[in-house]
Structure 1
Amino acid sequence: MAGSVVVVGSINCDSYVEVSEHPKPGETILGLDSSRSSGGKGANQAAAATIFGAPVGMLGAVGQDDDGEFVVGELGKREVDTSHVAVVGEPTGRALVTVDSYGENTVIVLPGANATVTPSSLADREEIIAGADVVVTQGEIPADTIEWLAGVVTGRLVCNLAPVVEVSEETLARFDPLIVNEHEAKDLLRQLGRDGEVSQGGEAERIGWELVERLSELELPSIVVTLGDEGAIWADDTGRAHVPSVPVKVVDTTGAGDCFVGVLAGALADGQSLAEATKLAARAGAFACQVMGAQPSYPKSLADLEAL
């Protein structure tokens, strides 16, 4: 049976506006449609991880508001255990998303209740975290919480450092894997003062390999650099390889990276190698680009991915 996954991270309510093209600074345009869906990197990754049928738990916080009830209810529909999601005085996190006719998006995140996901707020959930086979976290919660998790997790700690927040190199060394896209990889290397000689443009796969080489200098257990529609590159002590994506008609890229992370984490908990998990995750990321929204676009089973 697949192992358990616990996600410690952000929970947002996403407000979408569809536009023909993104407005320029100072420009007012008419939107084409609007909608609401459950989001936040943590919640998205938890929803995606459920396709393996194993227990997936969500630790985070929402507000005492309609948005909080809505997003927790949506996670429940994906069979995510939300019994340990805290309800706090701050409003539920919000993401304001605009999506153009090419499927490209811009996102503004208001952290709200996510800022309350601190080590002290999780102290009584330490046993749950320590008991998980795989723990997933992201940069949308306070950095000191990520540092704390590195000392509490006894299973595998997967970190999607998005956005890039400052953590110690000792904590970085616990990420197995560290998952970043090209921009986040460059930001992390810059933050660590190791960005010299990293190319700033060019073919995505070549840049990806260059970033993997530089990140490998940090002696992390494993690394995954995502490359959008060019797939991803994984690296661990068994080797490294580029995994191509699957061509699809792109409707909306929102949450595709989170789907990648959640499926990869679920695959690792299922006992798959990083190579196998990355291949499946690349298919999942492509799958999620075919429908508007984040969680509504995710596969509901492994059969969905096999049919892609």
Structure 2
Amino acid sequence: MSLTSAPAVRARAVLPGFRLTLGTTVLYLSIIVLIPIIALVLTGAGIGPARLWAIITAPRTLASLRITITAAAVATIINAAYGLLMAWVLVRYRFPGRRLLDALMDIPFALPTAVAGLSLTALYSANGWFGSVLEPLGLQVVYTLGGIVLAMSFTSIPFVVRAVQPVLEELDPALEQAAASLGSRGFTTFRRVIFPAIMPAWLGGVTTSFARSLGEFGAVVFIAGNLPFKTEIASLLAYIRLEEYDYEGAAAIALVLMVLALVLLFVSNMVQLRAARHGAVTA
């Protein structure tokens, strides 16, 4: 019997069937993600528009949201530049200790955020290793907005590094060689060839970093000092409302943070999709 007339052999699936696999993943997603989100939305809806608006527009709530968004934005700007630079160094250079530095990038993922907050507070307090040098210069970090930015940057920097790093590793060197053959050098090659290729991944990492900073709690609560209208973040105010048995207030603040994160992720996905399409067209 010829090879062309041989019956096709059906490949054996490695994982269980589609229905079982899809059902398991949807069930897990519903229990872990969807049901808590729906419960929060229903709780917020049960408060009533007037009460919800009164909670959100209260001076203390507005101040905490302003502090949270401002600190998260500054931390994200820092991470956007530093994370891209760190990913570049880890991918493009070989030096002693590179593997150790690469492993250190995952410490914020593995370290409990409360431990991170305590460590940063100890380092940057007046008698800490760094604080004892900075405070005589008039640079106070602990119990200031700068401390909040520092804590948010620490916990969210891996999102940018780990998003950009694999894309840089898989980038075809022929693109840079072609640019060099056409007379492009240095920063021009990076701006016109490399960055457009990694921009969708970079935008995804930056957006995730911002969303992570918006909801940060453990690392910030120790270094911020939690002064109302000065260093009190929104997630901490929600926790305070829970301790006061003000469940409506806590739910309203949590709902605002969730909506901000969802809107941010939606915009990020749209920007990434447009950037990917633009890259495909130009390619």
Decide: shared fold, TM above 0.5.
no
| Relative contact order, higher structure (CA 8 A, sep 6+) | 2
- Normalization by structure 2: what TM-score? 0.23
- Normalization by structure 1: what TM-score? 0.21
Greater share of residues in strand: 1
